[in-house]
Amino acid sequence: MTTARQIVRFAFNQLVVTGVGEEPTAEDAADALYLLNQMMHAWRNDGVDVVHTDLALSDTMSFWVPPKDADGTSIDAVSYQGEWDAAANSPALSTGIGTAGYLYKVGTAGTTTLDTVSSWSAGDYLFFDGIANKWMKCRSSRQFEHGITAMLAVRMSSLFGVSAGPELVDAAEKGWRQLQAAFVVAPYVAVDDALRRMNSNRYINGNLL
């Protein structure tokens, strides 16, 4: 799996600060890592809450992604509970039973069955959807790595005195849109039946339009 160090190195490569395959200096890597952590924390302010904890360069770059059919209300109430051992089922979880919004990261791979899902790899995330009343396996965050790398590179550009080209900026903007599409859920608004039966004619100053 991709590490934070690889994301940082790829970002340097995209800025052409280092050659392909070359490692940045320890100081430069530390600065870029700080920007990466800062960026991922800041996403929460715009509705993209990946429940981020600071990464070290050697840490795996993974985060939870809401299941496609998870309800928006339960996503807003996400509460990270720590790691889950899918081999020993520890802490003990049961099919159809849980607290809305509870989120676990799989620390140990295993085959414990929860709501029809029985294949768990280390680094997976599981989430309890309080509307559907079931545990759901979250989507992989790997699909966002290209965009995150571009977003980091754009942030790094001013720090390292390098201009971010239009293609890199476009990739960063696309990456951000993909994250928003995955996390930001438009609230469901129920329409009163009485409103559905109302006359649709529009009036301005007493005149029928």
pLDDT in tens, 45-96: 988 988 888 999 999 888 888 776 555 544 657 888 999 999 999 999 999 9
Give the number of residues written for the chain. 209
Same domain, 80 and 125: yes
Asked if pLDDT for residue 198 goes beyond 70, the answer is no
Q: What share of the chain is helix, strand, coil (3-state, %, to 5)?
A: 35, 15, 45
Say yes or no: 24 and 76 in one domain: no
Q: Between β-strands 207-208 and 203-204, what pairing exists: parallel, antiparallel or unpaired?
A: antiparallel
Tokens read off for 128: 């309890």
pLDDT given for residue 75 in this prediction: 60
Do 78 and 55 belong together in one domain? Answer: no
Which residue reads 């759901």 in tokens? 136
Total domains in the chain come to 2
Residue 193 and residue 207: Cα distance in Å, rounded?
26
Q: What's the CA angle centered on 113, arms 109 and 119, to 5 degrees?
A: 40
Q: Are the CB atoms for 32 and 8 separated by under 8 Å?
A: yes
Task: Give 176 or 64, the one with higher predicted confidence.
Answer: 176
Print the domain residue range for 152: 4-60+141-183
Based on the fold, state whether residues 53 and 145 are members of the same structural domain. yes
CA 21 to chain centre: 27
Residue pLDDT, tens place only, 30-46: 999 999 999 999 998 98
Q: Tell me which of 137, 160, 192 is where a domain ends.
A: 137
Per-residue confidence (pLDDT) for residue 1, from 0 to 100:
73
Pair 35, 76 in one domain: no
Rg (CA), the chain: 22
Contact present, 150 and 164 (Cβ < 8 Å): no
Task: Judge whether 192 lies within some domain.
Answer: no
User: What φ, ψ does residue 103 adopt, rounded to 5°?
Assistant: -130, 130
